[in-house]
Amino acid sequence: MHRSIRRYCLPLVLGSLLSAPSFAAEPAVCKDVRMGVVNWTDVIATSAMAQVLLDDLGYRTKQTSASQQIIFAGIRDQRLDLFLGYWNPIMTKTITPFVDAGQVKVLDKPSLDDARATLAVPQYLADKGLKRFADIQKFKQELGGKIYGIEPGSGANTQIKAMIDTNRFGLAGFTLVESSEAGMLAAVDRAIRRQEAVVFFGWKPHPMNVNVKGGMVYLADSEGAMGPDEGRATVWTVTAPDYAERCPNAYRLLSNLTFSAEDESRMMQPLLDRKNPLDSARQWLKDHPQDKTRWLEGVTTFDGKPAL
């Protein structure tokens, strides 16, 4: 009887093995994933999410924090593999020479399609009449002749400098205060606590959109100075030009990693509360299993097993 059962079961087992989907392991060169990260909270949050997913799949991910120019050059020079934070159009002028030379590749679809990045003011200042780009120069004395930006070399700062240098909107004589995301937000918070006038570079997704006391307003009538459609933006993932061919599984995960501005803003909040980005990403995956399922669709572990 045992022999009869074995004769019956063996063809079924072999048949199931032959019909089961086969997955190929990634090449060894793909195991180490080198990720560039700019010091923007949204990019830190999404990069942490990518790292947690990749590491759980058996990859070894290393993040390098640098400016956007250095990151694009790092991908060109094969020192970095990918970057999850290309903001279009804010960074477009910076990345275009690398794209035109075939030194980096932008994925086919954005990871975020409802972003925005332009100058902003607290609600109380808009209520006083500073609602448009042309209104900034009317408040020059109250503003101390300052516009607050982010890190030196950023696309946003370049656009603000261009407005000042060409006297667009009457901004000649203004000073761009270059700092960092954290430094700028600290200056804005200080001004708001004192109910002082302040113009700053604002964007979403970011907790600032709900954390600025009394609310914030994006300035209108920019005439394309901070990008088309009043600063509407998209965010894209960038890889080495041949990354999809070299490491198709990791590339598939990157293609799956899409977000909404609302979700990203919530992902970013723990980081502003000084929580560890990787721990925050793990907690998000625990609380949002549907996201994990969506992001891992069609993805395998590094050694070729189904990710889910």
Q: Does 4 map to a domain?
A: no
Domain presence at residue 22: no
**126 and 183 co-located in one domain:** yes
Domain count, the chain: 2
Q: 71 with 123, same domain? A: no
pLDDT (mean) for 2-7: 42
b/e map 4-22, b = 16+ CB within 10 Å: eeeeeeeeeeeeeeeeeee
What's the pLDDT tens digit per position in 215-238? 999 999 999 999 889 999 999 999
Q: Which of 191, 207, 232 is the last residue of a domain?
A: 232
**13 domain residue, yes or no:** no
Report the C-alpha gap between 293 and 127 in whole angstroms: 45
pTM here is 0.76
Residues 224 and 239 in one domain: no
Regarding whether 253 and 181 lie in a shared domain, the answer is no
Four-residue CA torsion sign, 237, 238, 241, 245:
negative
Distance CA 141, CA 124 (A): 17
My answer on whether 182 and 38 are in the same domain is no
Q: Is residue 271 situated within a structural domain?
A: yes
Q: Which domain-ending residue is among 214, 232, 250?
A: 232
Report the chain's mean pLDDT, rounded to a whole number: 92
Asked if residue 13 has pLDDT above 60, the reply is: no
Q: Which residue has the tokens 């020059």?
A: 140
Q: Does 21 have pLDDT greater than 50? A: no
Do 103 and 241 belong together in one domain?
yes
Name the band, by pLDDT with cuts 50, 70 and 90, for residue 272: confident
Q: What's the rounded mean pLDDT across residues 86-92?
A: 91
Q: How far is CA 243 from CA 251, 254, 255, 283, 287, in A?
A: 7, 11, 12, 29, 31
Domain end point (choices 184, 217, 232): 232
pLDDT of residue 14: 37
| Residue 225 and residue 131 in one domain | yes
pLDDT band at 308 (very low <50, low <70, confident <90, very high): confident
The reply to whether 169 and 275 lie within a common domain is: no
pLDDT over threshold 50, residue 17: no
Domain limits at 104?
27-113+233-295
CATH number where 129 lies: 3.40.190.100
- Looking up residue 75, the CATH number of its domain turns out to be 3.40.190.10
For 172-215, the pLDDT digits (tens) are 999 999 999 889 999 999 999 999 999 999 999 998 988 888 99
